[in-house]
Structure 1
């Protein structure tokens, strides 16, 4: 059972020293460190840490915003850890998913994230409706359909569906839809 730390700062000119000292003080056997924006979800050291930990391990970070910048991303990380049987602790919040209070806090964060998402979608729907009333909203332009002639031409030249999609910068599903519309799929 290992105690694994995760430390992150956003830029190269920031320092990890304080986080590393805190993680070392709580007994982290191994510390994953990176200097990259927290907005990026595909952080190499975070991915490596999530791959490394095993059942019975504990992941520790100093502050919540060091490991995730959005509630949704945090919940994905916590869920991945739970599936592996790994505990999660945040030092400045005294959050510990091995305790009932810690589990409650994570559940509350999940509920808040769901609420925020639903509110955002509701505002978006209201905004689109208002824009349509003003005649200012026409929806997304059908970019793939505008390339129908190119799809048909490349297909006649013997190019594969995925290659056509890549060449034209459209989805392969759009290629199939265009070909189906012309009864070629």
Structure 2
């Protein structure tokens, strides 16, 4: 049985193209979700991994829809192999764990994908550091007024009570009062 998995990163993106492609490729069952790939808790992926049985093949559009790091990729593939389940990508036709060449391609492309993620993270960090140096990046907007927190604490309120009143965590209260 071919089982599909589709994922987009944000709720405003559409799963329609991926789902249609998976069905056209012969998937009898498709699991889908709208969550970041870096999120380790992807319930539909976990359900798909539990659903597949020996002889099945898990099919995705692209490798980046399935895993973001080599470690995650190999951990999930290890789970599939242990169950006797194959893995294929539609748009990266060389990736097919049911063949030796496909396994090689998977390793190479997985490494390239992880490399690209690392480069993107480095560029983002460089951009943030440059903006901070220019004084243009000051972090997110303050959600809690530290003076108000200190005033509430000085009136005798406990940190938990202040947190509840302001709709934040106790740790935020402690940081704002320091």
TM-based fold match above 0.5: yes
Instruction: Give the Cα separation in 2 of the matches to 1:54 and 1:15.
Output: 28
Instruction: Give the Cα separation in 1 of the matches to 2:108 and 2:2.
Output: 25
Q: Is the 8 A contact 1:75 1:106 kept in 2?
A: no
User: What is the aligned partner in structure 2 of residue 45 from structure 1?
Assistant: 44
User: What is the aligned partner in structure 2 of residue 23 from structure 1?
Assistant: 22
Matched residues, number? 114
Once the two structures are superposed, the pairs formed by residues 1-185 of structure 1 within 5 Å of their partners are: 2-94=1-93, 95-108=95-108
Question: Taking structure 1 as reference, are residues 101 and 54 closer, same or farther at Cα in structure 2, changes over 3 Å only?
Answer: same
TM-score w.r.t. length of structure 1: 0.57
Question: Taking structure 1 as reference, are residues 111 and 5 closer, same or farther at Cα in structure 2, changes over 3 Å only?
Answer: closer
Higher mean displacement: 103-112 or 18-27? 103-112
Instruction: Give the Cα separation in 1 of the matches to 2:9 and 2:107.
Output: 27
User: CA-to-partner distance for each residue in 1:38-96, whole Å, 9 max, x for gaps?
Assistant: 00112000000111111000000001110111121111111110010000001111111
Q: After the TM superposition, which segments of 4 or more aligned residues of structure 1 sit over 4 Å from their partners? A: 107-113
CA RMSD, 1 decimal:
2.1
**Unaligned residue ranges in structure 1 (runs of 5+):** 116-185
Instruction: Give the Cα separation in 2 of the matches to 1:33 and 1:65.
Output: 14
Instruction: Give the Cα separation in 2 of the matches to 1:97 and 1:73.
Output: 16
Aligned residue for 1:55, secondary structure, equals coil
TM-score w.r.t. length of structure 2: 0.59
